[in-house]
Structure 1
Amino acid sequence: MTPLPAHVALIVVDLQPDFMPGGALACADGDALVAPIAALLAERRYRTVVATQDWHPANHASFASHYAGQQPFAQIQLHGHPQTLWPDHCVQGSPGAVLHPGVDWNAADLVLRKGTRPRVDSYSAFRENHGPEGSRPATGLAGWLRERGISEVHVCGLARDYCVLWTAQDAASAGFAVGFHWDLTRPVRADNDDATRQALATAGIALL
């Protein structure tokens, strides 16, 4: 397989057991991505690969268990912005938080842990969600990629309608050309697919 140009990087988003069947926040057929993504990395078509890893402290503000009377998937306001409450997931050091062992992660040049701040959720690889200061702090990934000569990123992983989508949108906002490996993603909710496609089209993001 011919390698892609050196200016193109791959971002594999949150390929972790907690987002797969049997996990705390399972995407239907999320485990079906393991083999094809492992094969994609083994081909070494991408010369730069980034893996993100959801890595929450046990007291994370996005967990429904920390709000009396609230259930997972309820909506609240957090720092003045809508926040979905999630089941406890990807808790630091837990089995569900590891990068899936079915992939050889030695192909990754960078593993970016996100969601580590107790009071701030973090879907995107490029920016955290809104924090108490009112902004979305940068993770530093955009600068890291530019230092390596990257001008285009392709994204895959979990979940299509949250972390992969936000990563793609933020990459486009940061000035990168973006490709979205639709078949190498799965959603939290399949009924979000139409909205996800529209959001990608609005941002000028190509489906691969």
Structure 2
Amino acid sequence: MSNIFPPPLVKRLNEEFHFEDKPYFDSDEPSKAALIIVDLQSDFLPKGSLAVPRGDEIIPVVNNLQKHYDLIIATQDWHPAAHKSFASNHPDKEVMETIILDGREQVLWPDHCVQGTKGAELVETLESNKIELVVRKGTDVQIDSYSAFFDNGHKKSTGLAGYLIEKGISKLAVCGLAADYCVFYTAMDALELGFEVEIITEGTRAIDPETFAKKIELFKEKGGTVSS
């Protein structure tokens, strides 16, 4: 396994996740790279219930990016209607207020990406033929899940890390929506897990660009890279 993955990832797998070296981990092939397309869903586009400004501009960029990667993953916010991150489920609160939910700060959002609705679907113009896995997140009514890897409390894993490992992936590129939330937290968790990670800024847009500018500096401080 150590001849495929970066040393921090090998250490984490062995010490925390108790992975054993197995024959399918051993390979003389060069390391592989995956593209994670985060939450490119209708509700995050203009006219959606939680529209990210200029979010539709990234669709052709993301479609073009796919040809450069060995593996393509997409994620979907997939919330139950009663999700506690929705302001509508707190009658005395407003959208964008902050509350304490499950012991941590939680922004209250407009209802979005509700399971089975049109707004939760991946956008129709996203090229999906190369997408091998769609990770649905935010399914627990009690806690939000910005990252593709864990819920916000890191209590439950989506299983994505194990999938990437078995596919021989050591490098990740992250794009999608929104840059300052789900893209950022997906990239940060990937770094913490030991993957080599870049955020492709041309392939993402932020709810608040100023906040994203600060977060991207933290991402770089932690060892991430940024490309346009």
1:23 maps to a residue whose letter is: G
Residue type at the aligned position of 1:16: Q
TM-score (norm 1): 0.92
Pick from 59, 70, 86 the counterpart of residue 109 of structure 2.
Answer: 86
RMSD (CA atoms):
1.1
- For structure 2, the residue ranges without an aligned partner over 5 or more in a row are 1-29
Q: Does residue 1:144 correspond to 2:167, yes or no?
A: no
For residues 93-139 of structure 1, what are the alpha-carbon distances to aligned partners after superposition, in whole Å with 9 as ceiling and x for unaligned? 11111001101212101000111111111100011112xxxx43211
Q: Which has the larger radius of gyration?
A: 2
**Preserved CA contact (<8 Å) 1:17 1:100:** yes
CA distance in 1, matches of 2:195, 2:64: 25
Q: Which runs of 4+ in 1 moved over 6 A?
A: none
SS in 2 for 1:116: coil
Kept in 2, the 8 Å contact 1:21–1:27? The answer is yes
Deviation at 1:17, TM superposition (A): 1.2
Match of residue 45, structure 1, among 54, 61, 68: 68
**8 Å contact kept, 2:174–2:183:** yes
Paired-residue identity, % = 45
Partners of 1:179 and 1:206 within 8 A in 2: yes
Unaligned runs of 5+ in 1: none
TM-score (norm 2): 0.84
SS in 1 for 2:169: coil
Matched, 1:101 2:124: yes
Give yes or no for contact 2:31–2:171 (8 Å, CA) kept in 1. no
Deviation at 1:167, TM superposition (A): 0.2
Task: Say whether residues 1:30 and 2:55 are aligned partners.
Answer: yes
Q: Which amino acid aligns with 1:108?
A: I
1:6 deviates by 5.4
Paired AA for residue 143 in structure 1? G
